[in-house]
Each structure stands twice: as structure tokens, then as C-alpha cells.
Amino acid sequence: MPTHTARSPVPPFFALPEIAFREYVRRPRDAFIGFFSVLCVLLLLATAAHAQSEDFIGAGTLYLRSDATDVVQAPRLHTDVTMKVTGIIARVQVRQRFQNSSDNWVEGLYAFPLPENSAVDRMRMEVGERVTIGEIREKVEAQKLYEQARESGQHASVVHQSRPNLFRTAVANIGPGQTVAITIEYLEIIEQQAGRYSMRFPLTITPRYIPGVTVDQGAVVTDETPVAALTAAVSPHDTAVLGDLQPTLIAPDTSSQSVSFDVDIDAGVALKDVASTYHAVKVDTHDSRTHVRLTSERVAPDHDFELAWTPQVHGEPAAALFHERTEDGDHVLLMVMPPQEDMRVSTPREVIFVIDTSGSMEGESIRQARAALLKGLASLKPTDRFSIIQFNSIFDCLFAQPVSATPDNLATARHYVAALRATGGTEMLPALSAAFAMEASGEHLRQIVFMTDGAVGNEEQLMQTIRAKLGDARLFTIGIGSAPNAAFMRKAAQMGRGTFTYIGSIDEVDQKMSALLQKLTSPVLTDIELHWPSNAAVEYAPAQVRDLYLGEPVVVVARVQGEVKGMLAITGHSSGVWMRQIPLHDVQGREGVATLWARNRIEDLLDARASGVSPDEIRSQVLPIALRYQLVTDYTSLVAVDHTPARPASEGLDSQRVPNTLPQGSAWPVATYPKTATPAELHLIVGLCLLLAAAVLFMNERRRVRS
Amino acid sequence: MTLRGRKIFIAAVALLGIWELSGGLYIHAKAWLAQKLIATAWARTLAGEKDVRPWPWADTWPIARLKIEAAHVDLYVLADASGRSLAFGPGLVSGTAPLGSEGASIVAAHRDTHFRFLKELRPGTMLSLQTADGRKYLYKVSEAHILDVRAERLSLDDVVPTLTLLTCYPFDAVVPGGPLRYAAVAERVEGISANAM
């Protein structure tokens, strides 16, 4: 043993571990300090070593395809939106001006949102005085035509649909200092809720994160995060392939990106309460025409535009009926408001709550589900009946048959809900079957409220069960958590003649559940049927007229073969039978009805994906309609090529992704990407260090015993 | 400290070390063993059964087999990418296109187990993928990105069908849970998929 006790001036972890230990092992506290110091240093060294080796690549580096050319500024982009509303149809023009302020020839790539139910049918490209009209082609063919034109230096542009509400334009060969304008047009049926019309124009990319399951709210920026990761996104030298990474987001700046609005509403009657939800607007009214513009001419496209108005009608609201005749038949659009009974359902309800308590619901999801379920229980009246079924690998019913909502039963239920825990597998089918199998009283309105994150694989089987066993019941689905299988749940609710509600976070539980409970307790207009003059063959799109809840209008789009005249009768069941007759002779002609019919028809066909129709079959059905009716779809795109050569072959072309303006108030959550690192290495390193430390201590001890 | 006390202390440190070490090894063992168990489930899937759970209490099932000859990789891809499933194998990220479809599919896995090989993956490498219906598809790695989940999102929109392999980045960071991800994008190669495997 060393005899001197003077401490080394060097901190222990800079000395050799063994010496450090020998000195400090004398007192347990010192031993601990020494031991942990060594441990810390080992860990730090390991981390530092790794950091070193990764230094040369930071986030946002796209290193396989970069051509290593000079940095070129992305084109500026100004958007002008012109909306012409006639009755219940809007034709919207979106003019995107790509301004190249650099000295190079560039290609602009831009992803932008449009309303989900828009029918995109026209595009034109303007370069100076030259105007080229876009054509609908098969997607791959359109892309090929565009790429050929790009390579041969011609002005060209293409519009692809990426998702129902997300589109992409690519504009090739914008010369130095040049501006190329692309005008995209779409049609839309204006939404109506309880007599108030509203239309929304999305300006920010819909936040659709790569959904994962693990949500890590606690993740923070550390010193290890490269600075580049905080600002840089995709390399500006990205290639012309549409897709790969999400575009860069930039702070709002109207000099680089801006938008203007010009809305003209001709409702046929005077309007009241014309209001924009998020923007300051000027409203001018002349008789039945209303003109709306933004107060400031241009704004940053950092939040959606929404405009709402109420037509002043006296007495029963008029039915809106339009038609358009083409070679393919007569196309009819009808919107009619059923009488609004401002009262609660008098028939008592029988509510079966089915709740997913599988392992994937663990964490935030199960808390949301519990809160939603408690809210549902609170809406029950003593005359109502209810039960709760939870399922994971197995299922469990709180009450084998529905019981009356007495205070005692409700208290039992609240305890049951509080005790729900998430674990095990997701066996949805037996639980759903059990819910359907519960004895119905006959006097109650059976409502099944199904809460899940929808992590299932046997969708087809579930849909078949719903179809076969629904009977008079209604199925309402509630999607919980960050990544519910919304498509499945929406379709399940449609099949179950109910509605789908999506609760994305615990703050939304109150608002979303209130809206749902309103529907659950309001009269429903069911079994809506249209009776046409006998000789007409009618194809509806969507194929089924769904049940209506309070405040919703009947909207029907149909293609009719044969003559449209005589009377059209609509019937439906509410507390009594509702019937409305509409004379077909004063139907007004309106351009766009055929296009809207085709859009809905295509959506119907695409929905068949959920019921297992093969993609090839869907494609073969959708493609002819899309080409015939000239629509941008999953399989068709708009392409415009101006064959006049523009870019000399000697000049190169830079591909520039036009960034999107960061949505107002948005923060990027770390959430929702799958977590793809395990603590294995950490465990191994810590374990090895501890073993090493034990070995050192052990050796030390032996030496000590010997001496 | 008494001799006895010191002995207990050393034993405790050693035990703690062994415990940590086995914790780390357990993760690797589970990842390896699970793939072996899934192999049987996959054989049954190819024989026509649907959603075959590799073990009775499993919450997931294999939906594809991913092979990369160049990297000696042979993995079964699971139906989802939840934390529970990723311990057993790579998983299809929900919300992305089904494997073998015309869209953009993303498969995620842990960087220290199944997707350790991504670090060595080079552009031009061929990936072959067999889906549950027995069809085989061939993909070619075209590019790789490093993205920050706080500021970037992978876009799911592609004209060309793609398969993206996603894992955590940096590959060798000791502490898990960082914000960076590594994405290797492979584009589908048409025409030669029949003899891919």
C-alpha cells in the first residue's frame, strides 16, 4: 500500500484508473467517487469517439445524388386564388407564379394542398405571352412527356395528385429572371351545415406525420444535435424525381411567398353574415352578388383561408338542382335541406361501448379512450340502457346484457372504466360480434360506440361482420391516438350507418365527444330514397345516400340515362316520414356537374380498396372515367409542354424544391416517427464498465490481502 | 470498510455489471430468436394462411421477407412498427403504402439489431422483397437521407414505387432516443422481379 496520503492535484479520472482506485479505495465514499469517475470517463470517451466518426454527415445532407453545383435560390412563388361561387358549386382558379430570380435555368418543384373533395380538371401554363393548355394523361405518361421536355430545354409543367388533398407541380426550364405561371382549376361542392355555407382553402401542408406508435414528448435538443439539423432540410440540389422528402419549410415572408384571394359569390339570393374565419376581408354586395377580397392585398400562406355565409331564405329552404348533359348522359346535382327538428331523440337509446385495451393503446391512447368513455356514460339518461365491452387478446363485458343507466350501474361502470389497462393482442372480431349479439329490447335505438386505434389486419372480416350483423343498430367509430387506421374506421362507420370521430389528443376529447354525443342524441333522417320518373336509369355517386344527422343537407350527384322530366320525390324517415317533391322541369344547366359526378364516382371506386378489390382492377375501372371526364386522379395527371425550345443545350438545369411556408403556430413534434434505437449498446457498455470496475477492485483487494 | 463489506461491494458491482450486460445481450438475443420463430409463421403465410402470429400472444405477424444478398441480410418484415414489434423485426410503418403496392412504403427497424447493416448499404444495392401473396419485387437503392424528425417529414408521395428503410442515426450513438433518422430510399426495378429470390 502506498504510504503517502497527499491527494494528487490531478483530478482522479485523469490518472490511471488503477492508481486512482488504490488511492481512493480506502474510504468507501472515495471509492465510489473514483469508481463513478472512471465510469463516466469511459462513457464520455465512447460517446465522443462515435461523435467524431459521424461528424462529416449532418442532418439534411443528401449525399448520394448531389451534383455539387453552386447553391441556387429556389424560385419565388406567388399564388392568386380566384373563386367563383354559383349557388352550391365553386370553380376555383389557383394561379402559381414561379419567379426565378437567379442567373441559372431552374426547375421548380412545389407541393401544395387543395381541398379534399376538389375535382381538378384544368391547367394552363403561361410564359410571357405564350399560353399552353394542359392535357390529362396517364400519370406515368405525363411524367415521361414532362421529363422529355425538361431534357430538351422546353417549357413544361406537370400536376400530379399525391393524396386526395395534396398535389405537386413541377415546372421545367424557368430562365434567369423569368416568370412561369401555372393556373390549376378545380370544382367543388360547397359544404353546408344548418343553412350556413362554408368553403375552406388550405394553404399549409396537412400535417400528416409518418405515424409510428411510440410518442416521445420528452425528446429535446442536446449539444450533440448538429446545428445543421435545426435549419437545413433537403439539399437544394435535390433531383427532379417528384417525391422523396418532404419539402423544406420557411418562415412566412410575403416577398418570397404570398397569396391573394378574390371571391365572387352569386347565390341567387342576398347573403348575410359573410365572414372570413382567419383573414381580414373586404365584402362588397350588389344585389345577389357578393365580392370578397383580403384587406391587405397579399398575405403569407401560413394559415388556411375559410369563408362562410348564410343565404337569406324565407320559409322552407329552396332545393338546389342543377344538371349538365354530355354524351355520357345527364348529370344531376341536388342539395336539399330536410326540416330541422330542434329536439332531442325521444326514443331511448341502448349504447354498447366497445373499447380496445390492447397493448398498442398503452400510454396516451388509453387515457384518451377512458376520458371519452366517461363522457359517453355521462350522456346517458335513466331510460337509456348500456353496457361496456373491453377487448385485447380476449374480451370482457361489464354487463352481459345491456342494463338501465341507473346511478348504481353508472357508478359501477365508472369504476370499471377507471380500471382499464392496455395490454395483450388486438382481437377485435369476437368483441364486435358480442356487441352485435347482445339482446336488443326492440324499443331502444341500438348504438354501438367503438373506440380503437385500429391496429388490425383482418379488416375485410370485420367489414363482413358489420354488414351481416348490423341490423337496426348504428356503429359509431372513434379513432384514438396518433396513428389510427382512419380509412378502416371511416369505412366501418359508413357501413354501420354511423359516423367516424377522430380524437388526436387528450385536449380534443371534450370538443369531439360533444359533437358526437350531439349526433347520438339528435334525430336522424334515415332510409333516404329518391324516386325518379319511371323511365330513368340512375347511377348515384356516392352509390349510397347516407343517413343524415342534425343540420346536414341531402346532397346527391347522379348520372341519369333517359329524359329528366316530371317530378323527383325524396323520402326519408325521421320521427315520421319526410317527403319532398321537386319538379324537374326547372332544373338549371350548370357546367361542372358531370365532372363532380365523375370525381365522386372515382372516389367510390377507390374506396373499394378497403374491401379487398385488387389495385389492378380498381385502376382499370378508374382510368377510363378519369380520361373521359378529364380529371386528375391517382392514375392521371395534367401535363403541358410548349414545344418552342427555351433553354440552350449548353446551359445546365438546376432542380429546386420550392419550400412551403411554415404553418402558423406549428411546432414540429418529435412524436410519431418510430423509435428505432435500442438501449442494447448502452447496456453493454455500462455492463462492461461495471465488470471492469469490479475486476479492478477485486485485484486490488487480493493485493491488499497478500500484503 | 471491513473485508466482508468490501467483498460484498465488489460482488454487487460485478452483479450489476452482469445484469446490465445481460440486459444488452437480451435485446440482441430476442431480436435474433424472434426472426427464427417468425420463419415458421412465414412459411405458413406463403402456404396461404392469413396473418399468422409467430407465437400465440403476438400482436403482429410477418407480411414480407426482405433479402439483400450483398449484405447477407434475410429478414421478415412485420405488420407494424410499434415499439413492441420492432424488438422482433423490422416493421411496416403504418400509414405508408402496403408493401409491393404502387406507392411509397417505409419499413423501420432498430439500428443496433436488424438494420445495423444500413450503415454499409451503398447506392445501387439490390433489395428483394417477397410479399405474403408470394410475389417478389426488386428494388435498387437510389439515395439516402439523414433527417431530423423535429423539422422534416418523409413524404409518401412518389410517382415511382419506393421502399424506404428507416432507422435511427447516428448508427453508433450510445444513448437511444435521438431526433435523427437515416432513410435509405430504394426504387422499384421493373421487369426482373420474377427471379429476384
Q: pLDDT for A491-514, tens place per residue?
A: 788 888 888 887 766 777 777 788
pLDDT value for A423: 77
Q: pLDDT for A292-310, tens place per residue?
A: 999 988 888 877 788 999 8
Write out chain A residues lying below 8 Å of B93, CB-based: 210-212, 674
DSSP code at position A55: T
Minimum CA–CA partner of A229 in chain B: B148
Please work out, in degrees rounded to the nearest 5, the angle formed at the alpha carbon of residue A167 by the alpha carbons of B155 and A133. Answer: 145
Nearest CA of chain A to the CA of B102: how many Å? 9
Cell of A19: 492508481
Nearest CA of chain A to the CA of B84: how many Å? 8
Q: Looking at the 3D structure of chain A, how many domains does it have?
A: 2
Mutate which of A489, A613, A678, A686 to test chain B, going by most B C-beta atoms within 10 A?
A: A678
pLDDT value for A686: 87
Q: Do B157 and A162 touch (CB under 8 A)?
A: yes
Q: Which amino acid is at A471?
A: G
> Does some domain include residue A39?
yes
pLDDT value for A18: 36
pLDDT value for A483: 54
Averaged pLDDT for residues A153-175: 86
Cβ pair A514, A245 in contact under 8 A? no
Q: Do B82 and A233 touch (CB under 8 A)?
A: no
Q: What is the reported pTM?
A: 0.59
* pLDDT band for position B150 (cuts 50, 70, 90): low
Q: Do A246 and B150 touch (CB under 8 A)?
A: no
B6 three-state secondary structure: helix
β-pairing, A179-189 vs A119-127, is antiparallel
Domain CATH for A424: 3.40.50.410
Nearest CA of chain A to the CA of B181: how many Å? 8
DSSP code at position A525: B
Averaged pLDDT score across all residues of chain A: 76
CA A86 to chain centre: 29
Examine the fold and report which residue of A520, A540, A575 is the final residue of a domain before the chain moves on.
Answer: A520
Across-strand partners of A645?
A: A154
> Does some domain include residue A536?
no
Q: Do B21 and A687 touch (CB under 8 A)?
A: yes
Write out chain A residues lying below 8 Å of B95, CB-based: 208, 210-211, 483
Q: Evaluate if residue A33 carries a pLDDT over 90.
A: no
Q: Which amino acid is at A546?
A: R
Neighbours of A423 (CB within 10 A): 13
Write out chain B residues lying below 8 Å of A214, CB-based: 82-83
Closest to A271 (Cα-Cα) out of A312, A319, A318, A317: A312
pLDDT > 90: what percent of chain A?
25
pLDDT value for A26: 45
Cβ pair A676, A179 in contact under 8 A? no
Least CB-CB distance to A683: which of B20, B94, B168?
B20
> Does some domain include residue A561?
no
For the ranges A523-527, B10-14, B105-109, B149-153, the lowest mean pLDDT is seen at B149-153
Minimum CA–CA partner of A35 in chain B: B13
Q: Evaluate if residue A223 carries a pLDDT over 70.
A: no
Write out chain A residues lying below 8 Å of B132, CB-based: none
Residue A500 CA to residue A31 CA, distance in Å, equals 62
DSSP letters along A438-497, please?
SPP-SSSEEEEEEEE----S-HHHHHHHHHHH-TT-EEEEEEESSS--HHHHHHHHHHTT
> Does some domain include residue A449?
yes
> Does some domain include residue A462?
yes
Nearest CA of chain A to the CA of B42: how many Å? 16
Averaged pLDDT for residues B166-194: 75
Nearest CA of chain B to the CA of A164: how many Å? 11
Question: What is the value of ipTM here, to two decimals?
Answer: 0.80
Averaged pLDDT for residues A68-87: 74
β-pairing, A445-452 vs A474-480, is parallel
Averaged pLDDT for residues A222-235: 23
- Domains in chain B, ordered, with CATH? 3-189 (2.40.260.10)
Least CB-CB distance to A219: which of B80, B104, B179?
B179
Task: Identify the residue whose cell numbers are 451503398.
Answer: B122
Q: pLDDT for A483-493, tens place per residue?
A: 556 667 877 88
Q: How many CA atoms lie within 13 A of A22 on its CB side?
A: 16
Cβ pair A642, A132 in contact under 8 A? yes
Query: Count of residues for chain B?
Result: 197
A58 to each of A256, A305, B110, how far by Cα in Å? 27, 37, 20
> Does some domain include residue A372?
yes
> Does some domain include residue A437?
yes
Query: Between A25 and A534, whose confidence is greater?
Result: A534
Minimum CA–CA partner of A140 in chain B: B159
Range(s) of the domain holding residue A49: 12-55+681-706
* pLDDT band for position A263 (cuts 50, 70, 90): very high
β-pairing, A130-133 vs A119-127, is antiparallel
> Does some domain include residue A178?
no
Cell of A696: 479492478
Output the CA torsion A639→A645→A651→A652 (10° steps): 10
Examine the fold and report which residue of A493, A520, A547 is the final residue of a domain before the chain moves on.
Answer: A520
Nearest CA of chain B to the CA of A173: how many Å? 20
Q: pLDDT for B92-147, tens place per residue?
A: 886 677 888 777 788 989 888 889 888 888 878 899 999 988 889 999 887 777 77
Examine the fold and report which residue of A495, A520, A545 is the final residue of a domain before the chain moves on.
Answer: A520
Neighbours of A534 (CB within 10 A): 7
Cβ pair A34, A12 in contact under 8 A? yes
Q: Do B160 and A243 touch (CB under 8 A)?
A: yes
Task: Identify the residue whose cell numbers are 350527384.
Answer: A557
